[in-house]
Amino acid sequence: MDETEKAIRKIKNGVFVITFSLDGINYGLTTAWINRASFKPNMIMASIGRNRKGYNELLDCEIFCVNILGDVSIEIARHFGDTSGNNINNFKDLEFKFMENGSPVLKDSVAAFECKLVKKIDAGDHVVLFGEVLNGTDQEGEGMVFNREDFS
């Protein structure tokens, strides 16, 4: 790994699952590259690989939920970060309910907010999506910090 890559990897990120529901199918996508983008209105940005399974459906859906995961939810992060296709319509035995605008929210998230997609910008092999926050729910616990060694 070159020095530039080593330097970039020192950026600290959380671990999130973007969830959404389209045509009766529930999607989940583990993401580390999410941050706040604006106070007024409340906006977040998420960088998504354009070839990810479910990416096109996410654009079609336009409404999604950002679930913030705590340390105890590492297996959930692994599940929705798996490249086998398990992230589509496979919430396993995970408990969830639907938010006001129809996005699934994971019971085990420490907080979650529902967003409306308002803008997207190409960024190399990723696309940065901007979501205006519509509503949020806060539960007990702190968000986990992404640690590469936890994910093979």
Ligand X SMILES: Cc1cc2nc3c(=O)[nH]c(=O)nc-3n(C[C@H](O)[C@H](O)[C@H](O)COP(=O)(O)O)c2cc1C
* Cα separation, 137 vs 122, whole angstroms: 30
- Residue 49 as a binder of ligand X (CB under 6 A): the answer is yes
CB 120 within 8 A of CB 102: no
Amino acid at 95: E
Q: Is 101 left (phi over 0), alpha (psi -120 to 50) or beta?
A: alpha
Region of 19-27, 63-71, 80-88, 135-143 interacting with ligand X (CB under 6 A): 80-88
- Residue 81 as a binder of ligand X (CB under 6 A): the answer is yes
Region of 1-9, 42-50, 93-101, 110-118 interacting with ligand X (CB under 6 A): 42-50
Task: Give the footprint of ligand X on residues 104-143 (CB under 6 A).
Answer: none
Comparing CA positions, the residue from 94, 98, 73, 99 lying closest to residue 15 is 73
- Residue 32 as a binder of ligand X (CB under 6 A): the answer is yes
* Cα separation, 83 vs 81, whole angstroms: 6
Amino acid at 69: L
Sign, Cα dihedral of 92, 125, 136, 54: negative
| Candidate residues 31, 67, 73, 103; the one interacting with ligand X per rule CB under 6 A | 31
**Residue number, 30 or 73, with CB nearest to ligand X:** 30
Region of 29-37, 61-69, 101-109, 110-118 interacting with ligand X (CB under 6 A): 29-37
- Residue 29 as a binder of ligand X (CB under 6 A): the answer is yes
Binding site for ligand X (CB under 6 A): 15, 29-33, 47-49, 52-53, 77, 80-81, 83, 87, 146, 151
